[in-house]
Amino acid sequence: MSGKNGFTIWFTGLPGAGKSTLAGLTHEALQARGVINVEVLDGDVVRTHLSKGLGYSKEDRDTNIRRIGWVCRLLTKHGVPTIAAAISPYRDLRGEVRKMVEEAGGSGSFIEVYVNCPLEECERRDPKGLYRKARSGEIKHFTGVSDAYEPPYAPEVVLHTDRESPEESVRKIITVLKKFGWI
C-alpha cells in the first residue's frame, strides 16, 4: 500500500450477482500483491454478528449498511484496506457511506464496485434459494423482486458477471486501485 490511509472497496449489486465471490478473490489478489492486512466485511456475515436481529425493512437495511459503513470508516482511517460486500440497494445510503469513509480516509478512499448482473441470471444462479422463496411470497421485501435496487450512477468500477470471468473482474478492480495509487 502506498498511502498512509486505508481505502474501502464497496461491492454493491443484486443478490446472487457475485459480490461475495469477487470480494474474496479481490482479497486474495491484494494479499498476493503484498497488501496483507485486508479486512473483508461480507453482508451475510455482518448480519449474523454486528447486525443480528435486524430484518429487511428499509429502516433495518439502512441500519445494517450504516454499521458496515462505520466499520469501513474506522478501518480506512487507521490504514486498513477494507472490502465490503453488501447488496446496499439504495443510492442515497451508499452516498452517505462514501462521504463517511472519505471524511476519514480522504478523497478517493471509497471505491464503489457495481456488480452488474441481470436479474434473470441472478435468479438462475440463486445459490441460497432466496429468489424462489421471494417469488412464492415466503420472503417479503426481497431486493430485485419485491423491493427496489437502485444501480449506482457513477461507480468507479462496473463488473458484468454474466459475461466476464471472475479473473477479468478482479483485474478491473486492481487497475482502478493502481490508478488511485492505493496499490
- Residue of 20, 51, 88, 109 marked active site: 88
- Nearest in space to 173 (alpha carbons), one of 68, 19, 39, 37: 19
Closest CA to 129 of 142, 116, 141: 142
Angle between the N-to-C axes of helices 19-32 and 166-179, in degrees from 0 to 180, rounded to the nearest 10: 60
How far apart are alpha carbons 7 and 80 in whole angstroms?
7
Report yes or no: 164 and 113 within 8 Å, Cβ to Cβ.
Answer: no
Whether 5 contacts 72, CB under 8 Å: no
Per-position DSSP letters for 141-177, written without gaps between them: S-BTTTB-----SS-SEEEETTTS-HHHHHHHHHHHH
Pairing of strands 82-85, 110-116: unpaired
Instruction: Based on the residue annotation, tell me whether 88 is a catalytic residue of this protein.
Output: yes
Residues acting as catalytic residues: 88
